[in-house]
Amino acid sequence: MAVSRACWSRRLKNLVIEARINHGRNSTPSFLIVDSQTVRNTETGCWKGYDAGKKVSGIKRHIAGDTLGLPHALAISSAGVSDRLGAVYAIAQKRRDLQGIEAVMCDGGYTGGDFAAAIKHLIGADVQI
C-alpha cells in the first residue's frame, strides 16, 4: 500500500508537535537552526552531484530543525546544490507551518543578502550567521 508524501508530512508534523509539548515547549518554535549534510550515494543514484567544498559526489540533505533537534523543514538535492538554495527550497515547502519563526541561525555557508532576503520574504524571520 502506497502512502502519499502529504500523509507522511502531516504525520511527521504531528509527531514533532507532540514531542515539543511533551518537552514543555510551545507546539511551534520561534527559532530554527539550518544546516546541510553531503553524503555519498551509489554510482547509479539519480540525483548524484558533486559538492566541490567537501569533495564528495552524492546527495545533500538540507534540514531546518528546532533547539530540540526536531525537523521542521527538509529537502534532498544533488550535492551540487548550494546550501543557501537548498535551505530556501526546504523552508519554502513548509512556509505556512513556519510563520511563527522569528530567527534562523546558520553557519558561514549561508552568508549573503539574497539568502537573508529570501528567508525574510518567505517566513518573516531574521537570519543570524
The total of structural domains in the chain comes to: 1
pLDDT of residue 54: 76
Beta strands, E only, the chain: 31-40, 49-51, 56-65, 71-78, 103-105, 126-128
CATH of the domain at 85: 3.30.420
Burial 39-56 (b: 16+ CB within 10 A, else e): eebeeeeeebbebeeeeb
Residue 49, C-alpha cell as written in the block: 552531484
| Closest to 33 in 3D by CA, of 96, 119, 122 | 119
Specify whether the CB–CB gap between 56 and 39 falls below 8 A.
Answer: yes
Q: pLDDT tens for residues 20-31?
A: 999 999 999 999
Which residue type sits at 86?
G
The domain containing residue 86 runs over which residues? 5-128
Q: pLDDT tens for residues 68-111?
A: 999 999 999 999 999 999 999 999 999 999 999 999 999 999 99
How many beta carbons lie within 10 A of that of residue 99, not counting itself? Answer: 12
